[in-house]
Chain A
Amino acid sequence: MKITGQQGETAAAVYLEKLGYIILKTNYRIRTGEIDIIAKTPAEDFVVFIEVKARKNSKYGLASEAVDIRKQKKIINTALSYIQEESESLKDATFRFDVIEVYRKENVLECNHIINAFLLENEF
């Protein structure tokens, strides 16, 4: 059965909340891109930008492989815009980019969390 992106994002949000993350925003959207989930870590005060990728299975490659350089750049640009908007509350924050893969396994949605999945490259 198909998994929609929306289902995956909901599953990821539930998964994060279970870990103690505080969800700040979902589907933050600007003209040039979107960030699926923006959350705050329970302990270290990281603001995390999370890209959720859902797949039925990994038959046609891992879900995380779909987050290529172009996608990363889009996410980073969108994150910059978010940081600017919220600059008051995020003054001393540190940031992180994560990817969450969602697969279906025996009718349950399973999350695989890749912490600190990518960094800014030189061009930024």
Chain B
Amino acid sequence: MFAQIYGSTTLGINGILITVEVDISNGLPSFDIVGLADASVRESRERVRAAIKNSGFEFPTRKITVNLAPADIKKISSGLDLPIAIGILVASGQLREEDLADYVFAAELSLEGRLRQITGILPMSIACKENQITKMIVAPENAQEALWAGSIEVYAMSDLKQVVEHLRRENIADPVIKDKKILNENFVLEDFKDVQGQIVAKRALEIAAAGRHNVLMTGPPGSGKTMLARRMPSILPEMFEEEALEVTKIYSIAGLLRPNEGLIGQRPFRNPHHTISDAGMIGGGRIPRPGEVTLSHNGVLFLDELPEFPRIVLESLRQPLEDGQVTVSRVNASFCFPSRFMLIAAMNPCLCGRQNDGTNTCTCTPVEIKKYNKKISGPLLDRIDLNIFVPRLEYKEIANASQEESSSDIKKRVEAARKIQQDRLHKWGILCNGQMTHKHIKELCNLTSDAQNLLEMAFNKMNLSARAYDRIIKVAQTIADLENSKDIGTAHIAEAIQFRNDIKSSSIRTT
């Protein structure tokens, strides 16, 4: 007796349909799972056996062979419990094969027979949709997530018994209805109006948010770098549905979604501690899992105390920063994870932190300062578009009771600038200036002749790289967009250039 059921597993950040074949034949009683099953899948034997027995069905005393096809993909999902159990019930004649046309099953089983939620449901339901399978049976906690793939009927079942009764049409359940709550916007965000002063930094962060550029904030301790960075999500433009879907997919696989949460509406903001390993940052593991750069896809990666990060971690950021994706290769698998994030970094200018703060109390020697700044490599700095100094606040600035601009006002300008960028860039398949390549810049960015001259002068004087040239124009374009200006003028270029003074030149100036 033979049965064939559909289940699903994840591969990288994508879902894939798995055909679960169950054969029950005479012979010495055994229960084997073949087809590159991971430990979590092989352990499902015990769960499936107990769940079938405890749901009041019979577990056949025969030779049971389960095959998971395609056989060359490592299956890692405990969500294959349910299809295996259903397969055994069909193969042993307790369910009819024709009852389960067009269903994909994805849930873990408890010993008692209850359905448990699993990670990676959204990519799985997207895989179902791509394979034109229209019905899915999942645990109740996973139902809303599964619905986000669209045009799929999702049934939420609490236990194996209910699934069987539904399939036998004894007690038909209704498909789950999509929750009206589209994006979870009930988030309390920190607001820029709480930050006194720091006008230059705020301006730089606004430009960064508008065009998705990378920022490095240098300043003495306590000047508000972390405070500023934390407020970044409050001025980032809203995500498109596709972007939200990408983010939700990643979080689903990483197991960071809360049950019954809809699509993630907030751009991610990740601030890993500086003790992070390179695999934690980029992604890794025997079967690679996404790292911080992928978890901050479409959002912000904030690295506080940048020089404290291990060199290997910082250098590993170079490729994802440039390509917007990162390929993690291990013996078992090689996956390409998306990593289009905005890097915001913060650091002190020197070891004691008081260099350049206007008080002349820095106790570091020039050699120490040089050594401290050397921790950030040139190639990494070259990828940072906006390099700003966040100074120590004067007393009157702190005590000043004046109302600062709120995040919602800044966000309006950011959104307007993004709209202009989208209109210009959508036919190239990109969303913001930060994503432009050299080709796009050549075709789309119009510099006035004065601006051209200024840029040429800066290029020669500052010994800029070709990448720096591109990045200056990108930032200038964003500044122009914020002003709703068609061409890039000298003012725009000039502002973009002054944001590029790198930390090394600033430290040389003072020593």
Q: Is B459 an interface residue (CB 8 A)?
A: no
Q: Collect the chain B residues with CB atoms within 8 Å of residue A121's CB.
A: 30
**Which of B21-29, B208-216, B231-239, B379-387 is found at the contact surface with chain A?**
B21-29
CB interface residues, B 29-55, toward A, < 8 Å: 29-32
Q: Is the CB of A95 within 8 A of B29?
A: yes
Size of the chain A interface, CB-CB below 8 angstroms? 17
Specify the main secondary structure of chain A where it touches its partner. mixed
Q: Is the CB of A95 within 8 A of B27?
A: yes
The answer for the CA separation of A116 and B53 in the assembled complex, in Å, is 13
A97-B29 contact in complex given A46-B61, A116-B61, C-beta closer than 8 Å: yes
Q: Is the CB of B32 within 8 A of A122?
A: yes
Q: Which of B29, B32, B62: most chain A CB closer than 10 A? A: B29
Q: Collect the chain A residues with CB atoms within 8 Å of residue B62's CB.
A: 94
CB interface residues, B 60-113, toward A, < 8 Å: 61-63
Q: Is A76 an interface residue (CB 8 A)?
A: yes
Q: Is the CB of A96 within 8 A of B29?
A: yes
User: Shortest Cβ distance from A50 into chain B, in angstroms?
Assistant: 14
Which of B26, B30, B31, B63 sits near A92, CB closer than 8 Å? B26
Q: Collect the chain A residues with CB atoms within 8 Å of residue B30's CB.
A: 119-121, 124
**Closest B residue, CB atoms, query A93:** B26
**Closest A residue, CB atoms, query B30:** A120
Q: Is the CB of A116 within 8 A of B29?
A: yes
Q: Is A80 an interface residue (CB 8 A)?
A: yes
Q: Is the CB of B28 within 8 A of A120?
A: yes
User: Shortest Cβ distance from A16 into chain B, in angstroms?
Assistant: 17
Q: Collect the chain B residues with CB atoms within 8 Å of residue A83's CB.
A: 28
The answer for the CA separation of A56 and B180 in the assembled complex, in Å, is 68
Q: Which of A79, A94, A96, A122: most chain B CB closer than 10 A? A: A94
**Closest A residue, CB atoms, query B26:** A94
CB interface residues, A 90-124, toward B, < 8 Å: 92-97, 116, 119-122, 124
Known contacts A93-B26, A120-B28; 20 additional CB pairs below 8 A are A46-B61, A76-B28, A79-B28, A83-B28, A92-B26, A94-B26, A94-B27, A94-B29, A94-B61, A94-B62, A95-B26, A95-B27, A95-B29, A96-B29, A119-B30, A119-B31, A120-B30, A121-B30, A124-B28, A124-B30
6 A-B interface contacts by CB (under 8 A):
A94-B26, A94-B61, A95-B27, A95-B28, A95-B29, A97-B29
* Leading 4 A-B pairs by shortest Cβ distance: A120-B30, A94-B26, A119-B29, A119-B30
